[in-house]
Amino acid sequence: GASLEALKDVKAVVMDKTGTITRGNFVVQRVCPAEGADIDENELLWLAAACEGASTHPIAKSILAARQTDYPAADSIREQAGEGVEAVIGGKTVLCGNRKLLERHGIDLAGFTGTPGSTEVLLARDGQLLGHIVIADTVKADAKQAMDRMQAQGLTTAMLTGDAQETADAVAHELGIHEVRARLLPEDKLTALTELREKHGAVMFVGDGINDAPVLAGADVGAAMGSGADAAIEAADVVFMNADLSSIPASVQIARGARRISHQNIAFALGVKLLVMVLGLAGIASMWLAVFADSGVAMLCVLNSIRMLYIKTE
């Protein structure tokens, strides 16, 4: 339908990072109390779990999975999309999220180096940095191959993420992704997409629906990973049946192949009709030739179209 039409003209593929390019199966690697903070590793993880207890974000799940003990109930919890969680625990304000969240609350991060290149969750209580938790995510097995194929198809590749710049750059470098926009809030992702469209032409956005449903709806073609959230599946034009990145170049190849076949059909049908018309004017076309030029040609076009089902996607 209309999406297949739009898909064949796509010039750039813009992808979300977490859950789309990476698996989104975060695992806690290290728990690092800040120098001089009066807290140990266990307590830091315990506090993080208290903040993340109600979140469904893959980061939250990894923290809950890593904790050793039960965690205290928070007095209140507020999740800020693309940043983390603000909680009140035992009457104290606790922040659990990225640098952006802490900076916005005026926490001094001047002396904080953290672990560049990895996804970090920072914790602060009552305006003081307590430490950070290092968590790792892995890129999908077919990511490099899928990026190479998109490049061979002449597509520009881009990645949007709410994660830190260094983490985003490391992934983009590993996979040869052309453009990177990091530290984006969910609403910034739509702005970034609009910029990329102005620069490159029609864009396809691929996401998993966690913090990216508005972008999915705003792209020329919005595609949701089959593993994605329900919101994604509703906002998308295309839904992949699996979580493989190779579905992206495959879908573009199918759309382009379908265009080629429909052009063949139009040329063939008009050609035969024109020929029979000329023969008719010359007085050498039979009734049966005319029937063939109409119904026979239509039949052959249908048969040719069936080839669309056999477009090789490797």
Catalytic (active-site) positions: 16
Piece of the chain touching ligand ADP by CB under 6 A; list 91-99, 231-239, 252-260, 269-277:
91-99
Q: From the list ligand ADP, Mg ion, none, pick the one residue 161 interacts with, judged by a Cβ distance below 5 to 8 Å according to partner type.
A: ligand ADP
The interface region with ligand ADP, picked from 28-36, 102-110, 157-165, 264-272 by CB under 6 A, is: 157-165
Check: CB of residue 86 under 8 Å from CB of residue 95.
Answer: yes
Report the partner that residue 247 touches, choosing among ligand ADP, Mg ion, none (CB closer than 5 to 8 A by kind).
Answer: none
User: How near is the Cβ of 52 to ligand ADP at its closest, in Å?
Assistant: 6
- 163 makes contact, choosing from Mg ion, ligand ADP, none, with CB < 5 to 8 Å by partner type, with ligand ADP
User: Minimum distance from CB of 212 to Mg ion (Å)?
Assistant: 5
The helix (run of H) or strand (run of E) holding residue 250 is helix 247-281
Least distance in angstroms from the C-beta of 57 to ligand ADP = 4
* Contact between 140 and ligand ADP per CB under 6 A: no
CB of 17 to Mg ion, least distance (A): 7
- 197-236 positions binding ligand ADP, by CB under 6 A: 210-211
Contact partner, 83, from Mg ion, ligand ADP, none, Cβ < 5-8 Å per class: ligand ADP
Alpha helices by DSSP H, listed for 176-218, are 186-200, 213-218
How many chain residues bind ligand ADP (CB under 6 A)?
23
Minimum CB separation of residue 19 from Mg ion in Å reads 5
Q: What are phi and psi of 77, to 5 degrees?
A: -135, 135
246 binds, among ligand ADP, Mg ion, none (CB under 5 to 8 A by kind): none
Whole-number Cα distances in Å, 27 to 93, 120, 123, 242? 26, 11, 17, 22
Cα 244 to chain centroid, rounded? 11
Comparing every residue's Cβ against ligand ADP, the nearest one is 162
User: Strands 156-160, 12-16: parallel, antiparallel or unpaired by DSSP?
Assistant: parallel
- Other C-beta atoms closer than 10 Å to the C-beta of 213 total 24
User: Does 163 help bind ligand ADP (rule: CB under 6 A)?
Assistant: yes
Partner from Mg ion, ligand ADP, none contacting 220, C-beta within 5 to 8 A by type: none
Q: 271 Cβ partners below 8 Å, 6+ apart?
A: none
Q: Which is nearer to ligand ADP, 121 or 225 (CB)?
A: 121
Three-class secondary structure of residue 4 per DSSP: helix
Pick from 131, 162, 209, 249: which binds ligand ADP (CB under 6 A)? 162
30-89 residues in contact with ligand ADP (CB under 6 A) are 52, 55, 57, 59-60, 79, 82-85
CA–CA distance from 28 to each of 62, 82, 137 (Å)? 6, 19, 9
Residue indicated by tokens 């506090």: 47
Minimum CB distance to ligand ADP smaller for 84 or for 228 = 84
Beta strands (DSSP E) in the chain are 12-16, 27-33, 76-80, 84-89, 92-97, 119-125, 128-136, 156-160, 179-181, 203-207, 221-224, 238-239
Q: How far apart are CA 125 and CA 142, in angstroms?
A: 41
Token representation of residue 277: 């018309």
* Member of 8, 15, 17, 157 binding ligand ADP (CB under 6 A): 17
For ligand ADP, the binding residues (CB under 6 A) are 16-18, 52, 55, 57, 59-60, 79, 82-85, 96-98, 119, 121, 161-163, 210-211
